[in-house]
Amino acid sequence: MSGKVYLVGAGPGDPELLTVKALRLLRSADVMLHDELVAPKVLALIPPTTRVHNVGKRCGQKRITQEEINRLLVAYTNQGLAVVRLKGGDPLIFGRAGEEMEALRKAGIEFEVVPGVTAASAAAAAARLPLTDRRLASKLVFLTGHRCCGKVPTDWHGVVSPDTTLAVHMPGEDYGGLVAELSAAGLSGETPCVVVSHAASPEEQIHRTTLEKLPQAPQLPAPALLIIGAVAAADRGTPESTGNLDSMQAAIGEFALKG
């Protein structure tokens, strides 16, 4: 008898943001391999009879290598078991799903991907701002802080534009380095920024600032997400909000002139 692997998105942390399908699989899986950042309230939904493995990686510390995770997925599935690989947010966005799907294909293992609410959507919802806006931002770019600050060269001139929203997952602590690169690419220091920590959880924190002031922003606890762009000033009803629609459109015009 052959089993199956389900790559499931656990969402940002609030169990009510799980999809109906994800919840059903959490309750019916034989084996659960979950990431470190899957919220405890989500893990509490797993029945006590399920075989559970924490295979997470956090702050550079690994409980298990990616190769070992791949071998576990294959081994359990070959025993005829239903295996859920549970990942925070959406499994296809910075969740190493590509490596695991490749390993499963090579082993001839059947698998299915169950999307989840990604951190960028949860952070934007928490801050009450759109990631796109037909007046301000027609493009959305997902980045990870593990790669965008010098470790792998980024063509910022090809990424930054006046109508782009940048959603930086795992921004880390080197805000100064990121600001230097974005500023060199022509992004205005007045560009609004929002840092959201622990989106959709009781520990949620939100800090609003601008690009030039971002290096002085408090280091909010991980997991955090950084949103950069004109849309980050869209919540004009809060006192922390920076600017308004007219000033953002003016900033876009200034950027265009620089380009």
Average pLDDT over residues 135-155: 76
Q: Could you tell me the CA-to-CA distances from 227 to 86, 164, 195, 243 in Å, in that order?
A: 25, 11, 6, 16
Question: Is the confidence at residue 240, as pLDDT, over 50?
Answer: no
Measured between alpha carbons, how far is 214 from 227 in angstroms, rounded to an integer?
11
Q: Rank 150-164, 167-181, 234-248 by mean pLDDT and report only the highest.
A: 167-181
Question: Is the confidence at residue 259, as pLDDT, over 50?
Answer: no
| Per-residue pLDDT at 256 | 42
Average pLDDT over residues 129-154: 80
Confidence grade of residue 154 (pLDDT, cut at 50, 70, 90):
confident
The three-state secondary structure class of 209 is strand
| Per-residue pLDDT at 155 | 78
Confidence grade of residue 70 (pLDDT, cut at 50, 70, 90):
very high
170 is known as an active-site residue? yes
The three-state secondary structure class of 210 is strand
Q: Tell me the two tokens of residue 147.
A: 């790669």
Task: Pick the more confident residue, 67 or 246.
Answer: 67
Confidence grade of residue 145 (pLDDT, cut at 50, 70, 90):
confident
The radius of gyration of the chain from alpha carbons, rounded to an integer in Å, stands at 20
Q: Could you tell me the CA-to-CA distances from 33 to 80, 157, 181, 238 in Å, in that order?
A: 16, 39, 37, 40
Please name every residue paired with 195 in a beta bridge, in sequence order, or none if there are none: 207, 226
pLDDT per residue over 3-60, tens digit each? 999 999 999 999 999 999 999 999 999 999 999 989 999 999 999 999 999 998 765 5
Average pLDDT over residues 166-171: 94
Q: Tell me the two tokens of residue 207.
A: 């800090």
Q: Which of 87, 90, 163, 170 is catalytic?
A: 170
What single-letter amino acid sits at 60? G
Q: Which of 57, 62, 139, 213 is catalytic?
A: 57
Confidence grade of residue 1 (pLDDT, cut at 50, 70, 90):
low
| Per-residue pLDDT at 255 | 46
| Per-residue pLDDT at 63 | 74
Confidence grade of residue 157 (pLDDT, cut at 50, 70, 90):
confident
Average pLDDT over residues 177-202: 95
| Per-residue pLDDT at 159 | 87
Measured between alpha carbons, how far is 64 from 41 in angstroms, rounded to an integer?
23
Q: Tell me the two tokens of residue 146.
A: 């593990």
Average pLDDT over residues 195-218: 96
pLDDT per residue over 88-118, tens digit each? 999 999 989 999 999 999 999 999 999 999 9
Question: Is the confidence at residue 71, as pLDDT, over 50?
Answer: yes
Cite the DSSP H helix spans in the chain: 20-28, 40-43, 66-78, 97-106, 119-127, 145-148, 156-159, 175-184, 245-258
What is the set of domains in the chain, with CATH numbers?
4-114 (3.40.1010.10), 119-258 (3.30.950.10)
